[in-house]
Amino acid sequence: MTKSTSLSELKKSAFIAGSFNGIINGFINWFSFKDMDQVLVSDNLISSTEPTLLAGAVPLAVSLAFILSGIAYLSAKIPNKPKYFPKIFLLSLKHTFMAFGIAVTFGVMWQRWMGSIEISPIIATICMGLTAWIVGSLVNYLTIKEIICDEVG
């Protein structure tokens, strides 16, 4: 198998894994939003008690990044995988901090440029599903790629 073939297969499997995560997490988040008339994307108050889309997206991205790194490692059928501790554990932490940084940065930029916008519960559910899809796909790809590069290199 050539390197380009394995990378294209890796991208395809990451896309599929991310899709499953997006559907599952979108469905789960529907129950948070279904009884609301409108959902705020973000609020301009740090001490806001109003649930917002981005306030839920940050912990979703962070928790998925850590959990899915471990799942990708455990489900990878690659011979001679590195031990989970410390390499993959530290990789999971790296993915977690990356997800946190990107999600918070996006939230701050959204609030700065777009302000407090309300959306429908179904759009909020789709946005949460897209967040889970992006995080799931990216984390799966980066974790398996790191394992493969470690094995080859």
* 3 assigned to some structural domain: no
Global pTM reads 0.92
* 90 assigned to some structural domain: yes
Task: Taking residues 38-60, report their average pLDDT.
Answer: 91
What pLDDT score was predicted for residue 1?
44
Q: Which domain does 28 fall in, by range?
A: 14-152
What pLDDT score was predicted for residue 26?
97
Contact 129, 28 (CB under 8 A): no
Q: Is the pLDDT of residue 54 over 70?
A: yes
Contact 52, 106 (CB under 8 A): no
* 6 assigned to some structural domain: no
User: How many structural domains compose the chain?
Assistant: 1
pLDDT tens by residue, 3-25: 555 889 999 999 999 999 999 99
* 9 assigned to some structural domain: no
Beta bridge partners of 52: 40
Contact 14, 149 (CB under 8 A): no
* 42 assigned to some structural domain: yes
Mean pLDDT taken over the chain: 93
Closest CA to 128 of 33, 47, 17: 33
